[in-house]
Structure 1
Amino acid sequence: MSLYGTMRTGVSGMNAQANRLSTVADNIANANTTGYKKASTQFSSLILPTTGGAYNSGGVTTDVRYSISAQGTFTYTTSATDLAINGSGFFIVQGSDGIEYLTRAGAFTVMDDGSLRNTAGYKLMGYEYSSTADPTIVINGYDGLSEINLKSAAPSATPSTSGQLDVTLPSNEPHPYSKATSLVAYDSLGNTRKLDFTYSTTGTAGAWSLAVTYTDPDTGTVSTLATQALTFDSTGNLTSPASGTITTSSLTFGVGAGAPVLSGLDISIGGSKQLNQDFAADGDINGSGPSEVSGYEISADGIVSLKYDNGDLIPKFRIAMANVQSPDNLTPLAGNVYSQSNDSGVIVMGYAGNSGYGSILSGALEDSNVDIAEELTSMIESQRNYTANSKVFQTGSELMEVLVNLVR
């Protein structure tokens, strides 16, 4: 047995315990860091060959592992842009270097430039929303991503395109009889336009005429937007128009390219009836006037929508997500982000809620998965083991001193 080997083994043990203490210190320091994944030190023995019947002491080596795939608990907040992933996957964020990274730290805040950045300064990435089709995903790369930017959230107006008006017409009123009701529509600039719907008898049982008009409040000019003959069967149900829909003509208010336009509206009247009771009406037209953004809403499948004062919810972006075959082998970097490594597997892109990806929780943050009690226990064990290894080294040193003194 070599005394040098004994001392070397003691040093190896101290170094191993120092590595363990380093991971414990990191874990305790980040116990309250959003999305932090704990590190742990794994030990393996180093065996040297025994020769001539003499034992040749080896030592211990360490390997640091990260519990990236272990999900933490959730803390719920009042901010819609605080995000957590319930299940597998990572947010894709971009650093100031223009490079994309993966993270579970979802404490995002809307900045002055409209970007969504987490506490480490990384920008959230995704795709512009389309109501007709999902954007094409580059499965193994970040091409096609853009930053989710809400700076363009200016006041919004939605022009009217369709509506519904169901009335009950009194069957026993003597001819001539006329009754009007009104609905408000919105033109291309968000101005309100009151449309009058006037129902008149024709002198024939079950037959009425409907006129849709607009009266200019300034000049009193009346514009007729639609006329329609209505017929009802003996049970009071509408039989004409067979489609149950009338379409109004467009109307331009003023002259020039910037003049507001009320586009032609498709008004459903199929639920109208003729019965022996008083006139009644129920209906609505879509669209809205100018409205300021009052907040944001992020759905479980990652669709980012702007919420307006008038209650409208306009989708703008869809958050992209990514995953790898072996998340625990990703390379951790400063700022609680990860990059692909040779052992993690390739980046696979997708959406929240799709196969292999968790759902997004808005108004929630994923806590660190560090267990303080477990870390304190590890710290005490490492301290005790470090002391024991130092005793081995000290003993070997003392014996070495005895051996040196023998030759004096």
Structure 2
Amino acid sequence: MSFTIAIRGLDAVSAQLNTISNNIANADTVGYKSGRENFSALYVNGAGNGVLDQGTQQSLGTNGAVVSGSSSLDLAISGKGFFVLQDTSGSQKFSRAGYVQVDKDGFLVNNSGLQYKGYPANVTTGPVSPIRVPQTRDNGSLSGINLDEKGNVQATYTNGQTETIGQVALASFANMDQLQPEDGTVWRATQASGAPQFGIAQTGVLGSLHNGSLESSNVDLTSELVSLMSAQRNYQANTKVISTDSSMFTALFQAI
């Protein structure tokens, strides 16, 4: 019995150590949300029989600090909103890492090439679609792009014209904790999370935008190191149980 309990304990602590290590490794990753391993007690016929690993839960509701971005186009969210992105297959993704640049086709994209979705100029409801900046306007060529703190995309042309192209959309969820992570900074909606509710910055729970800024990781290194030491002690305790059981069985077999 004790051997089985210790094995379950080792499995659970190993998963916890992996999660903590991943948090520490991503302490400087923009838009990363720290994870926590969840456990439940296991009972058999009313008697304790160790623990079970219930998987990792990311702290999606905890914001990281707002820091200076690498580009004047970068955006950070203060609130519960997510940027709405689209990959090359048309699948919808959500992120808090607000790297913004313009690709060769004029689309607003993040550092992984995912396209930002938003609303056309002067429209703040309805469906969202990828934001594309026209490269020319009335014989003028694109000379600059600016994003303000409401997510408005403004393009400037060599003929002196300035035009608002669209507005970056944000999304919220009824149960954001049930979003499915694709990596540390990109998620997709699930049935449990509920369908995304689209809107713009400074409305509802979506929060506000900070232009020229990024949201840093919300990992607390001090807490992670404390958790790491605790997990290591638990791992050693479980290995000690296994070692003791092994010694007892060896002695028993030798006596027989």
Q: Same fold (TM over 0.5)?
A: yes
SS of equivalent to 1:35:
coil
Residues 65-124 of structure 1 deviation map (CA, whole Å, 9 limit, x = unaligned): 110111100111362321111212111001122201111111121111212221222111
The structural deviation recorded for 1:382 is: 1.3
The structural deviation recorded for 1:135 is: 5.1
The structural deviation recorded for 1:155 is: 4.8
SS of equivalent to 2:31:
coil
- Residue equivalent to 2:248: 399
The structural deviation recorded for 1:404 is: 2.6
2 CA distance for matches of 1:96 and 1:70?
Answer: 30
- Residue equivalent to 1:16: 12
Are residue 111 (structure 1) and residue 107 (structure 2) matched? no
Are residue 38 (structure 1) and residue 34 (structure 2) matched? yes
- Residue equivalent to 2:129: 146
Does structure 2 conserve the Cα–Cα contact (< 8 Å) formed by 1:6 and 1:57? Answer: no
Question: Where do 5+ consecutive residues of structure 1 fail to align?
Answer: 51-55, 138-143, 157-289
Residues 197-251 of structure 1 deviation map (CA, whole Å, 9 limit, x = unaligned): xxxxxxxxxxxxxxxxxxxxxxxxxxxxxxxxxxxxxxxxxxxxxxxxxxxxxxx
SS of equivalent to 2:249:
helix
- Residue equivalent to 2:81: 89
Please provide the CA RMSD for this pair: 2.0
1 CA distance for matches of 2:102 and 2:161?
Answer: 20
- Residue equivalent to 1:235: none
SS of equivalent to 2:194:
coil
Q: Percent identity?
A: 34
2 CA distance for matches of 1:68 and 1:91?
Answer: 13
SS of equivalent to 1:357:
coil
2 CA distance for matches of 1:310 and 1:380?
Answer: 62
1 CA distance for matches of 2:255 and 2:112?
Answer: 62
1 CA distance for matches of 2:114 and 2:28?
Answer: 19
Cα 1:332–1:148 change in 2 (3 A) is same
- Residue equivalent to 2:232: 383
Does structure 2 conserve the Cα–Cα contact (< 8 Å) formed by 1:66 and 1:329? Answer: no
Are residue 125 (structure 1) and residue 117 (structure 2) matched? yes
Question: Where do 5+ consecutive residues of structure 2 fail to align?
Answer: none
2 CA distance for matches of 1:346 and 1:100?
Answer: 11
Are residue 60 (structure 1) and residue 51 (structure 2) matched? yes
2 CA distance for matches of 1:388 and 1:96?
Answer: 49
Which protein has the larger Cα radius of gyration, Structure 1 or Structure 2? 1
1:306 to 143, 155, 163: 155
What is the TM-score of this pair, normalised by structure 2?
0.91
1:29 to 25, 32, 38: 25
The structural deviation recorded for 1:44 is: 2.3
1 CA distance for matches of 2:204 and 2:16?
Answer: 37
Cα 1:385–1:98 change in 2 (3 A) is same
Aligned pairs for 1:180-329 within 5 A: 292-308=141-157, 312-329=161-178
- Residue equivalent to 1:241: none
The structural deviation recorded for 1:292 is: 4.6
The structural deviation recorded for 1:19 is: 0.6
Does structure 2 conserve the Cα–Cα contact (< 8 Å) formed by 1:89 and 1:322? Answer: yes
Structure with higher helix content? 2
Amino acid aligned to 2:9 = G
What is the TM-score of this pair, normalised by structure 1?
0.59
Cα 1:136–1:322 change in 2 (3 A) is same
Does structure 1 conserve the Cα–Cα contact (< 8 Å) formed by 2:41 and 2:48? Answer: no
SS of equivalent to 2:177:
helix
